[in-house]
Amino acid sequence: MFLKPNNRQTFFFILILLVGNLFFFTPAAASTFEQDSKQDSLRQLLKQWTQKLSEDRKNPAIMDTVAGLYFQIGKNDSADFWLGLSLKIDKNRAETYYWQGRVFLRRGKISIIPLEKLLAIIKQDNHSKAIKNFKKAIEIKPDYLEAYYYLGIAHIEKGGDKHFNRAVQAYQTILNRDDNFKDTSFQLGIAYYKLKQYEQAVKFMNSYFLKHPEDSRPFIEMSRIFMDKGDTKKASFYFMKGVEKLRDPNMLEKLFLEIKDIATPDEKEEFETSPLEKKGQFFKKFWKSRDPTPFTTENERFTEHYRRVQFARTTYPSVIPPYYDDRGRVYVKYGKPDDRYTSSMDIGGAKDNESWSYQKSIRRGLVFDFVQRGNMYQLVHDLTAAAPTGADYGSRLLIAGQLYGERAGDLGGIYNQFSINFRQSDLSDFINQKDAAMKSAPVEVYFHDYKMKPLPFRVKFAQFRSQHNLTWLDIYRSLSAKSLQFTTTDDGRFYSQVKTEIIIFDSLYNEVLRRTLPLDLSFATEKQVQTAISIDQTYAVLDPKNRYHIAIQVENPQGKKLGIKKFNLKIKQYDPDSLQISDIELASKIEPTTKVDQFYKDGLRVVPYMFNRYDIKKPLQLYYEMYNLTLDKEKKSKYQIDYKITVIKRDENSMKKIFRAIGSIFGKRGKESIASSYIREGKSRNEKGYISLDVSKMPTGVNQVSVIVKDLLTNQTKSSTLKLVFFKR
């Protein structure tokens, strides 16, 4: 019954894994296999123990070991087979009942499977069978803590206050004997959470985390607790803190199941392909990117989603993950429908059906038809599916026509075409419109109520080189004073406040920078209020190896107005050795200065021009910087600067096009570009450049502005461009 001599090393390794017990696959060994062993090593062990079984075919201990190994590699049926044989030989082995309970417990976790098999599984009630087997194991071996542990899990998954209380009893029994056994305190916290005894739940979650700070699962459960209590700020905080270091694959999969319906195809692929250690960060990035108020702790999109999920599971339940039917799926994506119609007519034995419309809030044609299938409602292509099973095509069309006709008055929109009569061509048109709307509809929709009036503002960026291979990012913000609310001071001046907040996240939404820019505005006359533009500027020094997410919020307290803009920005990397040129900053004013303020640039005051349209009657002012120019023996640089403005698209109507075409026949062509060139000498490797260009002869429309620098000592060339719409007042 022992292994051959040439396999003794493997055998002794097995002995160590099995805690010195040759025949019994003990709970300690089970834990070792679950946490540490790979599938290939499990299969190797299974091969060894199957060989032993062939040498000792009626040994129930070896059968239990083989069954346990089959269970670990996911073959429940094989495990069940060997456990059944073991019970025929010896019905008093606690280990056999323990593994039988584990098999039934796993089968109780229903995955997406065919309906017939699903109904058979439900009828079997695997959770009850698991509970029965764990109790039998404990009856034979009263100190079997592993059996108590999974008994608690089986009771929780069975559900209902009675079973939740029994789970509490099972876990309390374990803690009374060993308060460090596995994650019992964590599981006890879950049992109390299910009972809605939130203080006890938090107590045991904290107790577990203090002993196991590397395990962030308690934070996820704490998030659920505070969500149920209505404390959405704490719910958001604990969730974001928990997912950062979450490594538990089961919890990660459950979390992904809850967001799968609102994830984009790229996000689904990202989660599936991310290594385990980065999957938790995926959720932080997922929710931070959707946060309508990135400057606060609470993530309202996150909390609204989980409110929708809970509502869907309660109102439109399903026994199949994600535990809501197709109505719940649509509700999770788009929220409450604008209009909902539930059929109340008994038409030709039609199945229960209903329709939801989002034509007011999202787009015309976005409607969903559902038909009842068993205890759930299924999304259908059209309401011919509501006809009784076996109905011929003509009968199905007749029933669909009546069902759509009754919806026309209540739902309107594309249902209106059925208000007079019903033709098959109408149904085809309806389906085509509906399919087109679904294809173009967003993956999810959420409208956040900021409870403040919107405040419009503009943002621009320009990138320059900084020290230590970093990039200097200028951030410009402007708004019209007339969009603000002003109060009148005692001396008759008009006064208002603007608070600009900027937050920058890296690609994983870790906070890199947060800055607040308060600004007091004061004007002497109403005319100044109506014409003034408030411009502010700040900067950030960033590592170009990363991508950044930038959020800018502008608030006017007097007017209770708020504006938020979000940007994804790729930072330029400036080569430290070759010729480089910065972004072109379009300026409304460039002048020498000694005053250092937010617009100061090395002896110049450069006030940014914040619009994408430019009046050609005004000189075009540009600022830029050059880096890594070559120095000659006299420590001087020599370079050529070319400025070029090229027409991309003229702003002209049909008549203008005709006259221009006629003019070109006679050699009278409008300017398509202007260019100028200058040769300069510098005293350093890095130089700044600025110019004022006359663009009055350029046609209105879209133009490209280019600055080209050529190092005359090395003949290296670099350029920078921007697009601008020219107009004439």
- pLDDT value for 111: 45
Strands 376-380 and 353-357 come out as unpaired
- pLDDT value for 8: 41
| Ramachandran bin of 475, using left for φ above 0, alpha for ψ from -120 to 50, beta for the remaining angles | beta
- pLDDT value for 698: 92
Give whole-number Cα distances, 184 to 146, 151, 194, 217, 269, in Å. Answer: 10, 12, 15, 13, 34
Enter the tokens of residue 591: 């002048």
Beta-sheet strands, E only, within 419-574:
453-454, 458-465, 471-480, 487-488, 494-505, 511-523, 533-542, 547-556, 561-570
Nearest-CA neighbor of 158 among 140, 141, 170?
170
CA 267 from chain centre, in angstroms, equals 7
Contacts 24+ apart (CB under 8 A), 158-162: 158/108, 158/127, 158/128, 158/131, 159/194, 161/195
State pLDDT tens for residues 35-72: 444 688 889 999 999 999 889 888 999 999 999 999 99
Contact 165, 196 (CB under 8 A): no
Q: Show the domains of the chain with their CATH numbers.
A: 1-91 (no CATH), 328-440 (no CATH), 453-572 (2.60.40.10), 575-729 (2.60.40.10)
Question: What SS3 class is residue 646?
Answer: strand
Distance CA 649, CA 315 (A): 55
- pLDDT value for 22: 32
Q: Residue ranges of the chain with pLDDT lower than 50? A: 1-37, 110-115, 121-122, 659, 662, 665-666, 668
Question: What SS3 class is residue 76?
Answer: helix
- pLDDT value for 423: 79
Distance CA 237, CA 259 (A): 18
- pLDDT value for 345: 66
- pLDDT value for 287: 98
Q: Which residues contact 305 (CB under 8 A, 6 or more apart)?
A: 258, 259, 262, 332, 446
**Omega before 322 within 30 of 0, i.e. cis:** yes
- pLDDT value for 40: 84
Strands 604-608 and 585-592 come out as antiparallel
- pLDDT value for 421: 75
- pLDDT value for 29: 38
Nearest-CA neighbor of 549 among 532, 533, 564, 528?
564
Distance CA 329, CA 321 (A): 11
Q: Which residues contact 6 (CB under 8 A, 6 or more apart)?
A: none
Burial of 613 (0-12, 13-18, 19+ CB in 10 A): exposed
- pLDDT value for 585: 98
